[in-house]
Structures are given as structure tokens and as C-alpha cells.
Amino acid sequence: MEEGFLARTFPSTSGNAPTPIDDDLRLKLYRMMLRARHMEQRAYDLFMQNLVKGTSHLALGQEAVSTGFAAAMRSDDYTFCTYRGHNHTLLRGASMAGILGELMGRECGLMRGKGGSMHLTSVKHGAMGSYAIVGAHLPIATGAAWSAQYRGTQQAAVCFFGDGTTNIGAFHEALNFAVIWKLPVVFVCENNMYMEYTPISDVTAVENPAADRAAAYGLEPVLIDGNDVELVFETASQVLTRAREGGGPSLIEAKTYRHGGHSRADPGKYRPDDEVAAWLERDPLPRYRQRLGKLGIDEAALSKIEAEVEAEVDEATETARNSPAADTSIVEIDVWADGGSAWRN
Amino acid sequence: MAELTYRDAVSAGIAQEMRRDHNVVFLGEDIAAAGGVFKATTGLLDEFGPDRVKDTPISEQAIVGAAMGAAMTGLRPIAEIMFSDFFAVCWDLVANQIAKTRYMTDGQCSFPLVIRSANGGGSRFGAQHSQSVENWAMAIPGLKVVAPSTPADVKGLLAASVRDPDPVMFFEQKSLYATKGEVPDDEHVEPLGKARVLRDGGDVTIAALAAMVPRAERAAKMLAQDYGISAAVIDVRSLVPLDTTTILEHVGKTGRLVTVEENPRLCGWGAELASIVAEEIFWDLDGPIVRVTTPHIPLPSADALEDAALPSAERIVAAVRQLVD
Ligand SMILES: Cc1ncc(C[n+]2csc(CCOP(=O)(O)OP(=O)(O)O)c2C)c(N)n1
Ligand SMILES: [Mg+2]
């Protein structure tokens, strides 16, 4: 399979000129993807050492989608993502030690241990939560977009979800709702071809689970190569501008692949070897590194980024490892806005 | 003071809060142009316009989810779920998302929102449009649960719910919509979490909620007139937070507690109250705690059947007599 195997389709209604991509931005995109990749590889290692408790869902292989969007978003935009949301949360600016610490149940965790891997949130960075009930966050992102529209802030909400999510009712309710109210929300389907273990094609009425449904909501079908970070960035820039200008929601289907299983417990053996091999060929990271080389970007600049990211991940790991276990004095706080959990007087 | 119906008190309460705070917005099915299927929201669209009073599609998940997303980003939405039975199609958003996200995120966000809904029986609508589901909500940490019995409380408790920084499930009893009562014209806010003592009494305390409150009051009158039994009546008003102070004080004085619940028998709020009383003031009791509830059945439709199922003043009287005699 070749690079650019999917058309570079943009919403034709948006007449915006594509955002120029310069070398600084390219290096930034590379660094962002690499941070996500290395952090999650480290999470996997920590898990193998039994330091990550509970479950975790890695997005290794899917980094170009979260990166392309995060790079195109305004700092006050809203991200809503799923349990497979470590990268989406990190790339909006959340602390890496906070993320690893949360996975490890440590006091330094982003939510001090109250949320866990599936609920990473950093509101001050616009990372409005990771949602673990399939489909729930599409209506919630729609509401955040409604709020932005009502307050006139020109903020946009970006909502990431998987192919499997297109078969739950909340997906359809949210799309219709966002369209009728012309809300500034971008729905991003990361089509990694599987729900948990079942291929999406076995259980879906159409070939492209999101794009083929767009017409039902009067939206343009947008199907892109989700492993091409620049294409994701360009697409994101277009649809975010459109959202800010009052053009309403967009639905993007980005084709991608997770390198590992669904969650920590899953070796992913249900996937044919040749399929896995073909997608490893299309790994967004080496692919982008190669492209950058061809574009004449200095090898030294790339190795410098690689060394810096490795050091960052090591440091975050040390911070998380050295952090004490979550503090049990917080078990009964913050149910209510007054900080408490009292249900009686 | 003006005499208003329970239904008109709903729009009066919403209007009072929308005038005061531009961040209060209102959404739901048929609530704007049509004024609500129970006509409880007439006039709001005219006064506040389509940006603040919004008709939605039949999409309960989207309605409740949109309210959540709006609340966590600065607005104070009021969402209507037409019949409380329909919570069953958006319970994920209510119970998993709205109720838990503040806690899970270590307090990073708040959800100042109200979900209003027409709850309860007495309208001959059958098993899927008549349930009392306040216990569903009470069972979920992170939700406040309010159920007014009078027009004045509809206005005052609704106002307090809108101002509250946490999610409030506001249950309006649909068979009360036509009832009338005096409602303050001026700004009216009743604090959440306070039971109201409607009647003092020496022999027994009757605790009731929503449509069961007027029945309990009628029963108390009958008990006094016909049997010389003096019953205190408490309108619980708010299940979360629960005013155990007022209730324990009265049960301690009277030595007996009868709860009157419209919900089906198992896990009703009265059971929680009974356990608190038994645990904390057991030695003050002069007899068993008695729960008068709807039997553990789906509600039937025919008037004769529905009336036979719901607690009546006569059933309350019989229960109290058996306890006191
Ligand atoms: C309502 C609901 N049903 C089922 C699950 C269990 N579940 C968790 S993830 C998942 C697969 C979701 O697939 P997809 O949307 O493609 O996302 P991906 O995991 O591939 O990123 C399932 C079935 C759930 N969390 N919520
Ligand atoms: Mg998938």
C-alpha cells in the first residue's frame, strides 16, 4: 500500500486556503508524534513490570491523528476523547508525569488516582475528558460546542472516537443535533478497523463507517489517511476554521491502525499477519521521518528531538515512580462543588 | 402572592432564573414553541428567544449530553426530559457521565445543571409513562434529587436548583400540575436539603414526597378527626441532600415513623430512611417503622387499577392505626 492511498478530500464548502506547513511546524509535528509514541511505549513497559494497574488502551500506530489535530487547535479549544486517549490528552499540554502517574495510581497523577487510564483529563489544557462508555462523549462535545457558540467565543470542540462508535445511538443523535444547531464541533472517527476484537466490516452496514454515514446528516464525506500527519493537520485546520466561521460541524474519518491489541489484556491475535505487516509498513513515525529527510531536514535536528524526547520520557517516568501511592485522604472529596460528598445533614 | 398552578410555577421559576442570569439556557422536546407537553413552559420562548429556549429532536442522550457539555464550559443549562421514564434511554449520560465526572477528574470541572422531568402516576398513562424514578437517581452518587409538592416549592426549589453548583434531578409530579397554591411574586428561592414540617403531631411521624404529601395530609386530618391520633406530617422535598436532622427530631418525639412512597416497594427512599432511623434512634422507637408504597409491580393503566396500586389516604390511615393501636 502506498502513501496517499486515500484521496486528500476536503470539505468543498470551505473555501479556505490550506495552512502553509513550514519546517518548524514539521519538526513540531514530528516531536509531538514521538512524545506520544515514546510515552505509550513506556506505559507498556511499566505495565509489563506490573507498575500500571487496571487496564490501559494504547494508541501506538495512531499518533498522527491526535497530533495533526492538536497542532491545528487553538489553546482554548476543547478536546473530548476516549479511553484510548493518553496521546490526545498529552498533546494538548497535559503533563507526561501526570499521565504516567495516573496510570500507576500515584499521587502525582493528573487526577491524583481518582480517574485512571481511561479518564485522563486536564481541563486547564482544554482536554475535557476521556470517556469510557462508547459514544457518550459525542453529545457532551456537542454541548461544549453549543456553549462556545452561545458565548460567542469562536472556540471549537474536537471529539475523537473509534470506528465501533459509529454503531451506537449517541453517535447519530449527536451528529443530527450538531448539524441542526450548526455547532462548532469536529467529529473525528479514528477508523482502526476493529472494535474490540471484531472487524468493523463484519458488523457495519457500510464500508466506511463514518464517511458513508455523513450524507445522512447533510455532511460532506471526508475520508483521509490518518497515518499522514500533514494531511491530518491540513484537514483539521480547514474544518476548525469552518467551525469558527459558523459553518457548522464536520465529520472526518481517518483510517489508521493500532499496532497492538485493544487493551493490555489483548495480544491482538485475531488480526491476519499480512494485514499487521502492511500497516506496520505505514507506521506514521518512520514514514514521516523519511519524508522529512527527503525534504532536506537536517538529520541532526531529528536526532536531537529524539534524544530530547527520550530524556523527557525517562524524567517523567522517574517522577511518577518516585511519587507516593495515591493519598487515601481524597477518597471522599470532590463529589460536589463544595469539595465534599455529604448526602445528608 | 398570587395563586398559581404547579405547572405555571415551573415557568415562573425558570423565568425568574433566566432573567437573573444570562448563562441559564433551556432545552428539551417541544418545550419552546409548543410550551411543553404539560404546558409547563409556555411563554419562555417569547420572553427569552430561540437562543436560550431551544426545541430539540427526540434525542434524550443528545439533550442530556449537551446540557453536560454546556455546564462544564460555563453555562447553566436546564434540560427537560418529557417523562421521567425516558431516563432509561439516557441513563449513561446521567449516571455515568454527569454524576461521576467531577469526582473522576479530581474536581477539575463542575456541572451546574438541572434536569427537570414529569414523574409519577395518577394520570392513567400506564407503566411506561407513570413511574416514580426518584429512587433511581438517589442511588447514584453525584446527583442531587428534588421533588416538590406545591407550586411555591416548584418555583423556589427550581430556582435553588438552577443556582446550585451541582447537577440536580428535579422531579415534577405530573398529577400535581393542575393543583393550585400561593406563590410569592418576588424573587423566591427555597434552600435545597430542607424538609418541611407541615403538621406537628405526638403519636406518629408521616414522611411523604411529592404527590404523596397531600395524601399524607388528608390522612393526618382523618386520623385526628376520626380516631384521635395525632400525626406529624413531613414533606421530605429533597432526597439528596436528605434532611435527616428534621426527620430524626420528629421521629424521636413521636416514637413512630410511617413513610409514604409512590415508588414500587424495593429500595425506595423510605427504606433508606428506615435504616437511618433504626441505626441512629432505635431506642427512641415505640414500634416498627412502616412503609406504605406502591406494590412491587409496573403501574397499571385503568383508573380503578392505578388507584388501587398507589398509596391512598385510606391506606395511610390503616397503616397508622395498625401501628398506633
Ligand atoms: C456502551 C459500551 N459498550 C461496550 C463497551 C466495551 N468496549 C470498550 S472499547 C470497545 C470497542 C470500541 O471500538 P472503537 O469505537 O472502534 O474504538 P477503539 O477501541 O478501536 O479505539 C468496546 C466494545 C463500552 N465501553 N461501552
Ligand atoms: Mg476501532
Same domain, B70 and B164: yes
Give the model's pLDDT for residue A323: 98
Task: Give the ipTM.
Answer: 0.97
Q: What is the pLDDT of residues B265-276, one digit of tens each?
A: 999 999 999 999
Grid coordinates representing B210 are 411529592
pLDDT, position A9 = 53
Which of B150, B183, B216 is the last residue in one of the domains? B183
Is residue B253 one of the residues assigned to a domain?
yes
Please report the number of interchain residue pairs, chain A to chain B, with beta-carbon separation below 8 angstroms.
160
Closest to A147 (Cβ–Cβ): which among B73, B104, B110?
Answer: B73
Residues of B assigned a catalytic role: 129
Query: In this structure, are B234 and B163 located in the same domain?
Result: no
CA-derived radius of gyration, chain A: 20
Give the tens place of pLDDT for each residue, A28-58.
999 999 999 999 999 999 999 999 989 999 9
Q: What is the pLDDT of residue A2?
A: 42
Atom of ligand 1 at shortest range from CA of A262: 19
Instruction: Give me the percent of chain B exceeding a pLDDT of 70.
Output: 100
Q: Which residues contact B113 (CB under 8 A, 6 or more apart)?
A: B67, B68, B70, B71, B76, B77, B78, B79, B98, B167, B168
CATH number at B290 reads 3.40.50.920
Residue % of chain A over a pLDDT of 70: 94
- Residue B109's domain is classified under what CATH number? 3.40.50.970
Contact A68, A32 (CB under 8 A): no
Cα A261 to ligand 1 centre (Å): 13
B192 residue type, one letter: L
Position B162 in a domain: yes
Beta-carbon separation of B97 and A112 below 8 A? no
Q: In the Cβ-directed half-sphere of A111, how many Cα atoms lie within 13 Å?
A: 29
The CA distance from A321 to the nearest CA of chain B, in Å, is: 20
Q: Which atom of ligand 1 lies nearest, measured to the CA of A84?
A: 21
Domain count, chain B: 2
Q: Minimum mean pLDDT among A10-19, A111-120, A162-171, B166-175: which range?
A: A10-19
CA of A292 relative to ligand 2 center, distance in Å: 29
Q: What is the pLDDT of residue A12?
A: 46
Residue A159: closest C-alpha in chain B: B69
Q: Which domain covers residue B74, as residue numbers? A: 2-183
Q: Which three three-digit cell numbers place residue B143?
A: 446527583
Is B75's Cβ below 8 Å from some Cβ in A?
Answer: yes
Rounded to 5 degrees, φ, ψ at B59 are -145, 80
Which percentage of chain B shows pLDDT scores above 90? Answer: 99
Confidence at residue A3, expressed as pLDDT on a 0 to 100 scale: 43
pLDDT at A4: 44
Ligand 1 pocket, residue A230 CB under 6 Å: no
CA B111 vs CA A98, A126, B93, B98: distances in Å: 24, 16, 12, 7
- Chain B residues touching residue A128 (CB < 8 angstroms): 69, 72-73, 109
Q: Same domain, yes or no, for B177 and B202?
A: no
Residues B161 and B241 in one domain: no
Q: Which fold has domain A25-314?
A: Rossmann fold (3.40.50)
Query: Domain for residue B285, yes or no?
Result: yes
Can you give the pLDDT at residue A124?
Answer: 98
CB distance from B109 to chain A under 8 Å?
yes
Does the pLDDT at position A206 exceed 90?
yes
Residue A276: pLDDT over 80: yes
* Same-domain status, B143 and B8: yes
SS3 sequence, chain B? CEEEEHHHHHHHHHHHHHHHCCCEEEEECCCCCCCCCCCCCCCHHHHHCCCCEEECCCCHHHHHHHHHHHHCCCCEEEEEEEEHHHHHHCHHHHHHHHCCHHHHCCCCCCCCCEEEEEECCCCCCCCCCCCCCHHHHHCCCCCEEECCCCHHHHHHHHHHHHHCCCCEEEEEEHHHCCCEEEECCCCCCCCCCCCEEEECCCCEEEEECCCHHHHHHHHHHHHHHHHCCCEEEEECCEEECECHHHHHHHHHHHCCEEEEEEEECCCCHHHHHHHHHHHHCHHHCCCCCEEEEECCCCCCCCHHHHHHHCCCHHHHHHHHHHHHC
**Could you tell me the CA-to-CA distances from B283 to A48, B202, B230, B323 in Å, in that order?**
56, 17, 21, 17
Q: Confidence class of residue B94 from pLDDT cuts 50, 70 and 90? A: very high
Q: Are residues B151 and B214 in the same domain?
A: no
B72 and B171 in a single domain? The answer is yes
- Is the CB–ligand 1 distance for residue A160 below 6 Å? no
Tell me, what's the pLDDT at A265? 81
What band does B2 get if pLDDT is binned at 50, 70 and 90? very high
Q: Is the pLDDT of residue A95 over 60?
A: yes
- pLDDT for A254 equals 98
Q: What is the pLDDT of residue A18?
A: 62
The answer to whether B50 contacts chain A (CB < 8 Å) is no
**Torsions phi, psi of B12, nearest 5?**
-65, -40
Q: Where are the domains of chain A?
A: 25-314
Instruction: Give the Cα-Cα-Cα angle B14, B9, B164 (nearest 5 degrees).
Output: 45
Identify any residues that bridge with A82 across adjacent strands, giving them in sequence order. A131
Q: Is the pLDDT of residue A5 over 60?
A: no
Pocket test for ligand 1, best of A57, A81, A196 (most atoms within 8 A of CB): A196
Residue B56, pLDDT above cutoff 50: yes
Q: Which three cell numbers stand for residue A237?
A: 485546520
B286, B155: one domain: no
CA distance B110 to chain A (A): 6
Write down which residue in B151, B183, B215 finishes a domain. Answer: B183
Mean pLDDT of B277-293: 98
| B193-207 mean pLDDT | 98
Residue among A134, A167, A173, A187 to mutate when testing ligand 1 (max atoms within 8 A of CB) = A134
Better-predicted residue by pLDDT, A1 or B102:
B102
Quick one: B64 and B114 in the same domain? yes
A20 pLDDT band, cuts 50/70/90, is confident
Q: What pLDDT was estimated at residue A13?
A: 42
Domain for residue B131, yes or no? yes
Model-level pTM?
0.97
Distance between CA atoms of B91 and B98, rounded to whole angstroms? 10
CA dist., res. B244 & res. A94, Å (int): 42
Does the pLDDT at position A15 exceed 70?
no
Largest CA distance in chain B: 60
Q: Using one digit for the tens of pLDDT, what is the confidence trace for B8-32?
A: 999 999 999 999 999 999 999 999 9
* pLDDT mean across residues, chain A: 95
pLDDT band at B68 (very low <50, low <70, confident <90, very high): very high
Mark which residues 312-341 of A lie under 8 Å from B by CB: 330, 333-339, 341
Q: How far is A149 from chain B (nearest CA, A)?
A: 10
Inside any domain, residue B88: yes
Residue with CA closest to ligand 1 atom 22 = A196
B191 belongs to a structural domain:
no
Mean pLDDT of chain B: 98
Confirm if A36 and A90 have CB atoms less than 8 A apart: yes
Phi-psi domain of A184 (left: phi exceeds 0; alpha: psi -120 through 50; beta: other): beta
- DSSP character string of A298-329: -HHHHHHHHHHHHHHHHHHHHHHHHSPBPPGG
Contact B61 A78 (CB under 8 A): no
- What is the β-pairing status of strands A222-225 and A250-255? parallel
Structural domain includes residue B27: yes
Instruction: Check residue A16 and give its pLDDT.
Output: 55
Q: Are residues B48 and B99 in the same domain?
A: yes
Q: Indicate whether B188 belongs to any domain.
A: no
